[in-house]
Amino acid sequence: MKQVYFYGACLVFLAMLMPAFVHADDNLDNLNAAYKAALERKELDRAADYICQAAKLDPGKYEKKCAGVQKAIAKELPQFDKLFLDGRTKFEKKDYVGGIRDLQKISFGPHHDEAQQLIQQATNLLNHLSQPADTGMQKLKQVQAAYESGDFPTASTVAASITDANILPYIKQIVTNIQIYNESMQEGDAYMQQGQYAAAKQKYSFALVIKNNGPGNPADKLQRITALLAAAEKPQVAESDSKSKTTPDPGTQGINNNGKPAAKSVDNLVRIKEFLAKAQEDEAKGNTAAAISAYDQVLALDPQQQTAVAGKLRLMGATQKDSQDLEDALIKGVRSYGQSNFEEARADISLYLKQGGTKKGAAYFYLGASFMADAFLSDKNDYDKLQRNAVLNFRLAKGEHFKPAEKYVSPKILAVWNQTSF
């Protein structure tokens, strides 16, 4: 009888434990399913929460997965930090498309929520910009169509009217190509007037590579140069017929009797290789002027040499970009001055002057104005030093014959400017 009671009690106890075991298995299955779903969404932080909870219930089965996800999180977070900084910077510069591209990659972590907010803001701004009232995209299409048809004046005029920061990156290369093309044509025309046909030929050839239907008819000018050079090399009438007969056929020049390249052609190939190596070495060192010069020497030997054409275009485009970046520093400095951020204004304007900015008069004036504005807000101890710096820069600005737009200048600062003698 006692045994019956004992077995009965065991059965009751097991029946009580059974739901707990079943519940634990169900819980593990649910956690594992949630873990897999989070992985598919690339939400590694949530995936780690789920699988590490499962690891506490069944370490043998899930502990390695928990450690693996935590390791992946540690690897991803620094990358997300950088993506967030890059994306926020692009957003602040109104490059909303670029900002969204970076911020969308942040799938978890401390910056995730803020990144989503910025994405929403950027999307709203882009939707606003793309409304019919905005003509940015229409203007971009006009620029592209004009450039492709060789109508550079129209392309340049329309491009200059575009202010949308999201459109500007798409026209930058077109504007750069037009500027380099125009410079090459102007230099070619100047060489033509001086009778330097070989140099003119190089410039026109370079322009033709940039755009074969651009203004100024570089192809026609190249034909004229070819005719002029051929006329200059034509044998004199006084030369004997026998000598004339020895003149090589144009189609076989550079080829000797054995059908091999003549020594001059081989020599040119060697020189081209040397100049290309020098250009690439100078470019790697950041010596832009020397690199462009070396590429020019290659193009003098072979105007169609693609590596030299691409290298020169790349460097000339970078040079113009550096120049624009420098102008942007001055604009940023003046804007900071207008917003009463005087230290930032001085930092940007000083950088502009240090790196060789050409609008020195304006730079010195606003540098002086920032010192003077700071002086008016400072105590007696700092006033004299700030005023001296202001007057010094005002003198330098007057030395550049700069005249400020008085209606945009504070009367107090204008009074100090007017009292400053050069």
Lowest mean pLDDT among 121-130, 167-176, 248-257, 359-368: 248-257
Start-to-end C-alpha separation, the chain: 122
CB 208 within 8 A of CB 220: no
CB 107 within 8 A of CB 41: yes
pLDDT value for 238: 42
Summarised one tens digit per residue, pLDDT across range 309-335 is 777 767 765 555 455 666 777 888 888
Distance of CA 152 to the CA centre of its chain: 23
Summarised one tens digit per residue, pLDDT across range 365-398 is 989 999 998 888 888 788 888 888 899 999 998 8
Q: Is 12 exposed, middle or buried (0-12, 13-18, 19+ CB in 10 A)?
A: exposed
- Look up residue 261 and give its DSSP letter: B
Q: What span, in angstroms and rounded, lies between the C-alpha atoms of 66 and 324? A: 51
Q: Which domains does the chain have, with CATH numbers?
A: 24-129 (1.25.40), 144-233+262-313 (no CATH), 321-419 (no CATH)
Angle of CA points 195, 201, 206, to nearest 5°: 140
Name, of 6-20, 278-292, 310-324, the range with top average pLDDT.
278-292
Residue holding tokens 């037009």?
178
Confidence of residue 251 (pLDDT cuts 50, 70, 90): very low
Taking the model in full, what pTM does it have? 0.35
pLDDT value for 333: 82
pLDDT value for 380: 78
Higher pLDDT, 215 or 267: 215
